[in-house]
Structure 1
Amino acid sequence: MTDELHKQDLEKFLAEKQLNDHWKKWVRTNLDAGCDKNGMFRIMIDEGFSYEVAKAALNFEPAIPVDQIINPLKRYKDARMRETASPFIPNAVRQNVEGFELYVLDDFLNEAECDALRRKVQREAPSTGIALKDENDPSFCTRNHDLGGIKDTLFQDVDRRICSVLGLSPKHAEPLQAQFYEAGQTFYPKRDFFEADDLIEKGGALGQRSYSFVIYLEETSVGGGLSFPEVDHSVPVKRGRAVIWNNLFPDGTVNDKAVHLCRPVEKGCGLILKKIFRTENGLPAFKRLDKENVPNYTTIGFERDRLPKPLLDKIMDFYRKNFHAQVPETVAERFIKNAKTDTAKSSLIQLPKSLEKEIQACLKPVLEIWSGLKLEPTFVYGIRVYHHGTALKVHRDRNGTHIIGVIINIDQEVTDPWPLRIEDNYYRKHDIFLEPGDVIYYEATRLAHGRPQPFNGKLYTNIFSHFKIADKS
């Protein structure tokens, strides 16, 4: 249809007064200005017009489902409301590039993890590999391997950690991939997001691509590494380093600055892992708990130490003299479970205030050095005595008053060692086995921790102390 006929049809439609004067003017003005018809269509649907009225008014029908079109009036409001939705990534450094969200996260994987993953990829991945080549340019050649279908606990755990560190839903993500680059090989500048004409075919139910997460598994001798030519920024290869970027602007539209390429590998072999996330209702599918957005104050998030012997001796003396005074615990009942209903979950021996203050005074200066914070003590809890068959639910402690926590192991009579399960700031899971007199400092609000394995033994006894950030005033 010619532009002239289109204008005649538009005028005829508007003359039928199916739109009031305000909407007639709105349609004419925005069409004359060359505004995106998809966006205009979604605005009209959201304002209550039927599909057929919007179709006739614009002489246009979207090629993608309307619910996948972002309302351009609403998205800016949503972006302002979700300014904090840009992910908090512990230990990551946002790169100083304008108009593009790009992060570097060193040591996401340690040396042992990189070694184990490299061996597994080389052993498991060949059957899933696809070679990408350009006959006119032999330097363009990569081998891509889909790891999503491989049932391997290490691949699955790395996948989980990637989702967790970004706070994005695994339901809105593509499978983990491995990519190999031999000496002299590279890939051309590319965009991870789907162009408009590809969105229907490739976007599917998951929609547009949002964040990309790449991990360097091999440290090439010379060359390699990602480069972002539109912002003149490169990220050198460092083993275990993650490079993270958002392919979209905050309003959900695609960002051309996300174009990237792999610099040619001059010596050695390049190996990366890559995971790409999709959108939910046009925006990244964040699912993070509020407590996970509490800043991290240390790199790992926890540290093991020993309680000074004089204080430990004083606590042990009180514990032995008052062991008979323990009473069943009820405060933490929802966190503490025991499969045997006839067995007490845990008991408490109440410490005297003077001893509580002495524990706090001993711990405070050490914790301030460790965390880099000025702290105020809030609670000393215990002595808690866990009983046979008890498990402590994995949880995060209260925000505000429990920013930094301490566990002091006092006594244990165990058949099997009973680990503390704790995630670090890279969402790596650790099992920590304490001995009497051992202390663990940890970022109690941020880090998930607990003892999910039922306790096999007679008793296991801890004291807990918590601190908040001191009031700056």
Structure 2
Amino acid sequence: MGSQNFLAFSFSLLLIFSQISSSSFTFDPTRVTQLSWTPRAFLYNGFLSDEECDHLINLAKGKLEKSMVVADDNSGESIDSEERTSSGVFLTKRQDDIVANVEAKLATWTFLPEENGEALQILHYENGQKYDPHFDYYYDKETLKLGGHRIATVLMYLSNVTKGGETVFPMWKGKTPQLKDDTWSECAKQGYAVKPRKGDALLFFNLHPNATTDPTSLHGSCPVIEGEKWSATRWIHVRSFGKKQSDGCVDDHESCEIWAKAGECEKNPMYMMGSETDLGYCRKSCKAC
């Protein structure tokens, strides 16, 4: 792991250890498969129970709206687009006991704290509906202030799909080709693909370990050919999501002065002082403003 990301990762560990006891979830490594290193992607077989899947779908029914895409890198404004034809709805964080338990399970598996995640988005794809290949990281300054880049994405499949609806990575760079028969859609044959299976969860990272964006994380949802597809998405940011960082010359963590004296301003400049698009946590102690 790159030095500039080490502090953030360490904080995540401390928070996760405090959260694990509140969830009945026990991580089972035998049910996790490493799919790829380019991008880094992992599949958890049976992450959600049938009851959890059905509950999340029921929470969304009757509330779905046409899915949008981000169109402006300066404002983060979203618009309707034929690139994304599904419908969806955002739940509220910890909306009920089941949602809260799912969020705690995600934190336990990913080792990324709950507070860094966006609220779950439930998505519904009917026949022919899809989401063209796209990145989950972005550069609009307003959104970055809310939590920085999306370091990771978790796609939880809430239903089986008769045919189509695969998640595809067109820029995957594996050494061994993924063999596909006629049960795969033509879209899925354009890269490494994952079939939607009820209860499974796909985790992939949008950033490299050194915190730079990973172009091989480009991904899309193939058109549904037979049946329908339900899924739940959890986007996880590099820091707590939902609260803009202070714009003034301040420190946003109580340990900033100690870290600065220990040389972290030079060792971890992105975390401590930020960049052109992402404000750091310790600008005052690093004398960066």
TM bucket, shorter chain: 0.5 to 0.7
The one-character-per-residue Cα deviations of 1:250-300 (angstroms, maximum 9, x if unpaired) are 10000000110001100111110000111139xxxxxxxxxxxxxxxxxxx
The one-character-per-residue Cα deviations of 1:101-150 (angstroms, maximum 9, x if unpaired) are 10011100122322233223225x44xx344499885x841112110268
Following the alignment from structure 1 to structure 2, what is the Cα–Cα distance between the partners of residues 141 and 105?
27
Q: Which amino acid is 1:209 matched to?
A: R
Residues 116 and 174 of structure 1, relative CA distance in 2, 3 Å threshold? closer
Q: 1:234 maps to which residue?
A: 193
Q: 2:207 maps to which residue?
A: 248
The one-character-per-residue Cα deviations of 1:320-365 (angstroms, maximum 9, x if unpaired) are xxxxxxxxxxxxxxxxxxxxxxxxxxxxxxxxxxxxxxxxxxxxxx
Greater relative contact order (Cα < 8 A, sep 6+): 2
The one-character-per-residue Cα deviations of 1:66-102 (angstroms, maximum 9, x if unpaired) are xxxxxxxxx844568999999997331111x343210
Q: Which amino acid is 1:213 matched to?
A: V
Q: Which amino acid is 2:205 matched to?
A: N
Moved over 6 A (4+): 79-89, 133-136
Following the alignment from structure 2 to structure 1, what is the Cα–Cα distance between the partners of residues 220 and 7?
33
1:218 corresponds to 2:162: no
* Structure 2 contact 38–217 (Cα < 8 Å) conserved: no
Where structure 1 has 5 or more consecutive residues not aligned to the other structure, the ranges are: 1-74, 282-473
Q: Which amino acid is 2:61 matched to?
A: Q
* Structure 2 contact 68–80 (Cα < 8 Å) conserved: no
Q: 1:344 maps to which residue?
A: none
Q: Report matched runs for 1:55-134 at 5 Å.
A: 76-78=2-4, 90=29, 91-95=31-35, 97-122=36-61, 125-126=63-64, 129-132=65-68
Q: Which amino acid is 1:269 matched to?
A: E
Aligned-partner SS, 1:214: strand
The one-character-per-residue Cα deviations of 1:195-253 (angstroms, maximum 9, x if unpaired) are 3xx1x121114111101011000111111021001012100111101000010001000
Following the alignment from structure 1 to structure 2, what is the Cα–Cα distance between the partners of residues 131 and 152?
24
Following the alignment from structure 1 to structure 2, what is the Cα–Cα distance between the partners of residues 153 and 254?
34
* Structure 1 contact 132–144 (Cα < 8 Å) conserved: no
Q: 1:305 maps to which residue?
A: none
* Structure 2 contact 60–122 (Cα < 8 Å) conserved: yes
Q: Which amino acid is 1:216 matched to?
A: Y
1:258 corresponds to 2:217: yes
> Size of the alignment, in residue pairs?
199
Q: Which amino acid is 1:276 matched to?
A: W
Q: Which amino acid is 1:121 matched to?
A: A
Residues 130 and 119 of structure 1, relative CA distance in 2, 3 Å threshold? same
Q: 1:141 maps to which residue?
A: 85
Percent identical across equivalent pairs? 21
Following the alignment from structure 1 to structure 2, what is the Cα–Cα distance between the partners of residues 262 and 161?
24
The one-character-per-residue Cα deviations of 1:144-166 (angstroms, maximum 9, x if unpaired) are 21102683222222122112221
Following the alignment from structure 1 to structure 2, what is the Cα–Cα distance between the partners of residues 135 and 152?
30
Q: Report matched runs for 1:6-405 at 5 Å.
A: 76-78=2-4, 90=29, 91-95=31-35, 97-122=36-61, 125-126=63-64, 129-132=65-68, 137=82, 140-148=84-92, 151-195=95-139, 198=140, 200-231=141-172, 232-280=191-239
TM-score by length of 1: 0.38
Structure having the higher Rg:
1
Following the alignment from structure 1 to structure 2, what is the Cα–Cα distance between the partners of residues 140 and 239?
22
Higher strand proportion: 1
Following the alignment from structure 2 to structure 1, what is the Cα–Cα distance between the partners of residues 59 and 7?
43
Aligned-partner SS, 2:145: helix
The one-character-per-residue Cα deviations of 1:359-379 (angstroms, maximum 9, x if unpaired) are xxxxxxxxxxxxxxxxxxxxx
Q: Which amino acid is 2:118 matched to?
A: E
Residues 119 and 240 of structure 1, relative CA distance in 2, 3 Å threshold? same
Residues 109 and 183 of structure 1, relative CA distance in 2, 3 Å threshold? same
Aligned-partner SS, 1:116: helix
User: What's the C-alpha RMSD, in Å, of the aligned pairs?
Assistant: 3.2
Following the alignment from structure 1 to structure 2, what is the Cα–Cα distance between the partners of residues 169 and 163?
5
